[in-house]
């Protein structure tokens, strides 16, 4: 999920009005957010520890490390999102947090799809251009690439920090966090809103999906043609990567687009779609790291060793006390 996208949806949906009763769907979403936060915090920190300290440096580990770091940043916003779900559409965290949280969400969305795209290109290049790859790619180059991707994602997310504002609804009691495109001055606010949506849709979904799908499908065909895979596991992993990406981000952009024309859709439908999308994206950020057990060479082995060492040290401390 992209933070900017979520912000846009929040903005458009919340502009409709408020209700003093917390919907059951919002309460359920809050529970899911808190559970996934606890799970995601433990899993992502553990993964970063193993990738950063326990494994040898490589191109693959560098990229997966930064991808997990994105997951952790997103995970840290979940308690704030859960507060928002309970007070929806009221924003009670102030103007700065309105800008910061939504900018972080947008940053996470962009960096996630950028890293997934670059990782697919990396795997493609390794298989189809192995000589060039081994002569040019190394851990340092991968780390620099990751830093540049963070910078580009921050640049793409910067408009949301500028446009995000707090304003009161007509009841003069409900403060909402939304994108105020009238701040763009000479630019037409409605036109700019659609431009931002189109920019995010193309750069954050359509192009990455096309690149990821082509790269992994060609890899699968190459492996099948030359019998490079000894089992069906690589094909299953490729299938899961592509389908999880589609299943997570397609509902998000569908909801985002519908919220742009919110007057054409029932308020209840948009609210339910928003809750479902937020839950899907949060689950995606917390549970996709499990796939990296199979994506990084020797990670599964190091993961088991690290888990066992953690249990051993915990038991040792318990017996000492």
**Model confidence over 70-94: pLDDT tens digits?**
999 999 999 998 898 888 888 898 8
Pick from 73, 112, 49: nearest CA to 307: 49
Which residues, including other chains, have CB under 8 Å from residue 62's CB and lie 6 or more apart?
Answer: 139, 142, 143, 146
Residue 155 has pLDDT above 90, yes or no: yes
Q: Which residue has the higher pLDDT, 154 or 18?
A: 154
The CA radius of gyration of the chain, in Å to the nearest whole number, is 21
Token representation of residue 209: 């999906």
Q: What angle do CA 71, 72, 74 make, to 5 degrees?
A: 65
Which residues are bridge partners to 90 per DSSP? none
Strand 164-168 and strand 175-179: pairing? antiparallel
Q: Are 282 and 78 in contact (CB under 8 A)?
A: yes
- As a whole number of angstroms, the distance between CA 125 and CA 118 comes to 10
Which domains, and CATH codes, for the chain?
Answer: 3-181+209-299 (1.20.1070.10)
- As a whole number of angstroms, the distance between CA 180 and CA 189 comes to 8
- As a whole number of angstroms, the distance between CA 129 and CA 139 comes to 18
**pLDDT bracket for residue 251 (50, 70, 90):** confident
Token representation of residue 67: 């991808």
Token representation of residue 269: 């439908």
Q: Are 59 and 136 in contact (CB under 8 A)?
A: no
Q: What is the pLDDT of residue 297?
A: 57
- As a whole number of angstroms, the distance between CA 91 and CA 224 comes to 52
Q: Which residue has the higher pLDDT, 23 or 76?
A: 76
Q: Give the helix/strand (H/E) hosting 68.
A: helix 59-87
């Amino acid at each position: 999920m992209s933070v900017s996208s979520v912000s846009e949806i929040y903005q458009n949906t919340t502009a409709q009005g408020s209700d003093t009763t917390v919907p059951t769907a919002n309460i359920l979403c809050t529970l899911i957010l808190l559970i996934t936060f606890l799970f995601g915090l433990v899993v992502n920190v553990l993964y970063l520890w193993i990738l950063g300290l326990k494994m040898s440096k490589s191109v693959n580990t560098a990229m997966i490390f930064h991808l997990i770091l994105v997951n952790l940043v997103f995970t840290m916003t979940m308690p704030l999102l859960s507060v928002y779900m309970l007070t929806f559409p009221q924003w009670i965290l102030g103007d700065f947090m309105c800008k910061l949280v939504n900018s972080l969400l947008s940053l996470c969305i962009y960096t996630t799809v950028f890293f997934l795209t670059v990782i697919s290109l990396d795997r493609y290049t390794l298989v189809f251009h192995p000589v060039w790859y081994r002569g040019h790619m190394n851990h340092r180059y991968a780390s620099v690439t990751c830093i540049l991707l963070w910078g580009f994602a921050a640049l793409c997310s910067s408009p949301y920090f500028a446009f995000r504002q707090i304003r009161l609804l007509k009841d003069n009691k409900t403060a909402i966090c939304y994108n105020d495109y009238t701040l763009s001055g000479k630019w037409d606010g409605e036109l700019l809103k659609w431009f931002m949506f189109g920019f995010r849709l193309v750069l954050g979904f359509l192009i990455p999906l096309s690149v990821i799908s082509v790269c992994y499908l060609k890899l699968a065909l190459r492996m099948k043609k030359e019998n490079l895979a000894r089992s069906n596991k690589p094909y299953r992993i490729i299938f899961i990567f592509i389908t999880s990406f589609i299943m997570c981000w397609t509902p998000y952009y569908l909801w985002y687009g519908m919220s742009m024309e919110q007057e054409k859709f029932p308020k209840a439908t948009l609210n339910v779609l928003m809750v479902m999308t937020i839950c899907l994206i949060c689950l995606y950020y917390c549970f996709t790291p499990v796939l990296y057990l199979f994506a990084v060479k020797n990670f599964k082995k190091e993961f088991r060793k690290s888990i066992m060492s953690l249990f051993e040290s915990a038991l040792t401390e318990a017996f000492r006390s």
